[in-house]
A and B are shown apart, each in its own frame.
Chain A
Amino acid sequence: MPPTVATVVYLVAGLLFILSLRGLSEQASAQKGNWLGIIGMVLAVAVSVAGLFGFERGEAEAAGATTNVLAVYGGAIALGALIGGFVAARVQMTAMPELVAVLHSFVGVAAVLVGLGTLQEAGAHIDLAHYVEVQLGVLVGAVTFTGSVVAFAKLRGTIGSRPLLLPGRHVLNLALVGGCLALAILGWGAPPDRSFSYLLGVTGLASLLGVHLVWAIGGGDMPVVVSLLNSYSGWAAAAAGFMLSNDLLIITGALVGSSGAILSAIMCRAMNRSIWNVVFGGFGAEPAKASATQAPAGKVRETNVAETAELLRTARNVIIIPGYGMAVAQAQHPIREVTDVLRKKGVNVRFAIHPVAGRLPGHMNVLLAEAGISYDLVKELDEINDDFSDTDVVVVIGANDIVNPSAVDDRASPIYGMPVLEAWKAARVVMLKRSMAAGYAGVENPLCYRENTVMLFGDAKKTVQSLLAALQV
């Protein structure tokens, strides 16, 4: 196959990826978009495999030399496809954040390996531009890899969600980056073997950097971290594209990188934080200010299932605000049944989703959809925030910081300025909570102490199940 054919096919694949993203940005066309992406990928891989046969290099050399290699890579593809297919079919939606983190780490690994391979192959003949690309690709790839692994461990709960704040952590980050730079400069023009060792050094330092950067971020910031790593994985793919002078990789990497960056920006806006603050900040670790630690005035009123059922039965408008606590308790399925029962009785039940509810951007929407809740009942913050004053009962399930009134009225609060769901404007608020513990941000929630708020303590799933039983009587 002449190289021009490969180039044309790559171009078509690139266009398909662009169309795929456009499709994925609207509900009606999302599934089609995904398929366009699949077609693009199949084309691109097919051409590359054909390239492996060596048609571009001349048939004679190809026949013998690459048969073994092809068998090895064919096996690797088959095995990878099997694992990927199995995981995709089996994974629980609550475990999506972990899965996404693992998948990001693979892109990082691939970029590092391509970098090592490129330098090894080029040896002393590498020009400066390529050399810089290799170093950058390995740096970004290694940070993506170890950062994703740490994010995975945090999401699994293998390591605590608290940020690890080493003394002088900014100096440490700078030192690691400086070390990479120094090794890269030392390696330029050095004999190939030494140059390669220095690149391995860069890999090591960048890996440490990835671990440290993500470990210093608190569990509550996970949606931003995951979307940042999504972005990094794109940049890593683009860097690989520069190394190999492959336009398709550059285009695709840039698309993914910018889409991840947009998601990160949306998440940051939803938390009223700057991206720098998330990446380098170690939020939630500064000693909380006075007003945040003191218990707010007022007292906590407790309610029970029977009262709540009565409240819901007689309501006209109900809004349910789910948080990650709902997912942990697996309460989404009984909640769907409660919704069905109430809607049959003519109660207007809707759901309000905060952009950073859950551990992944859009995570709550997926969980509710999986439970069988129609997405036209599920509203975004901007769509529904004005409706709370018109609402009879708000039910908050396993959410905390995203309904905290301090974000609006307490300037001293660490979360002041963050857009929140203004649940307190409703006539009645029922908060389902396991205990009075503070949310991820470690901030007290005055909503619990308001006069129109009642607390329903206990495991979210059991509570909702008994609520369902009480409603069905």
Chain B
Amino acid sequence: MLKHTILAAITAAFLASPSHAADDLLSKPWDDVVAQAKQEGEVVWYNWFLQPRFRELTKGFEDKYGIKVTIPDGTVDGNFSKFLAERDRAEGDIDVMSVPGDRLAQFEPATYFMGPLDPIPGFDKRRTKINGGDGKNYAVAYWGNQTGLAYDPTQLDEAKLPQSFEELNAWIAENPQAFAFNDPRGGGAGSAFIQSAVVNTSTPDDIKGANFQPSWDWFAANSENYGFTSSNADSLTRLNGGEFQLVAAWEDHLAGLQQKGEVDKRMKFYIPKFGMPGGGNAVGIPANAKHKAAALVFLEWLTSAETQDLFAKEMGSSPVNSDAKGVPGGVPAEQRAYATDWLPIETTNAVKAQFIEKVVLSQ
């Protein structure tokens, strides 16, 4: 009885869903929104990566609107915890919140974010589905990126880079322990490779039925030939350290680490013909944001074609606005065609869960 009372009290105190008055901001003409945004004068964007670079690139927004942009230091999980912990405050610290695309499936965007955002001019050019997650018009993609294979051109023959899955199979047999991918718990590059391997070694029917056994057999049969690292960063670090010659990686991650002088500039990246998925991140405006109008204007700017081209040019991302025309530097355009979509989120999770259980922890 007492237990029930306590539970009820806790529930009442902490589960009250955010009861923010339906915002009429979204029904206002865009010019009024911009005017209100200028009055608010500042916006706080919680983004977990490359903050110093984004601080420089958002100067364009500050100059255009006279609205100050703050991008705090933080980690993806730190930001997410703050976002969840703050949801019952009347006014939170977060105006614009970045979320990895696949995490959109881990909470209900419509309950946490202001929206729907379709009144934003040119909304139909923007993407709300990314990396297997769906922002359902409450979150919009602002960052696209690509997985592929990073390699050290001084260690391997560039002309013989494995392209088909059979070639990769042969290559790792010929060069045991020269190729590596990471634990899917340590980042998406490993997850991407595992997915590609599943797509290439299991039949579409098996994949639909969540039966990936042929793929797990492939991993078991080749376990002596590939290296297994703990994270995205660990793979690139060990490529840089000369332990591996070819590793699964994110294109923008490699570019960022090279820019910071963590990984040598000689390392290169390609998308193999057997296909690797592209992913990305989305932004939304927390329902209790303090500077809602400024957040809306910032979100419009962040996802606009011009800004997307700027990010592609400066930071190696893939544009997520269909009006953007910039081709990111580095990877030749024809390789972009080998980019695939992530499997649906349930399949992605099933692949990951089975891989951890049947390949990682069982050997």
Q: Are A and B genuine complex partners?
A: no
Could you tell me which B residues sit within 8 Å of A by CB distance? none
Could you tell me which A residues sit within 8 Å of B by CB distance? none
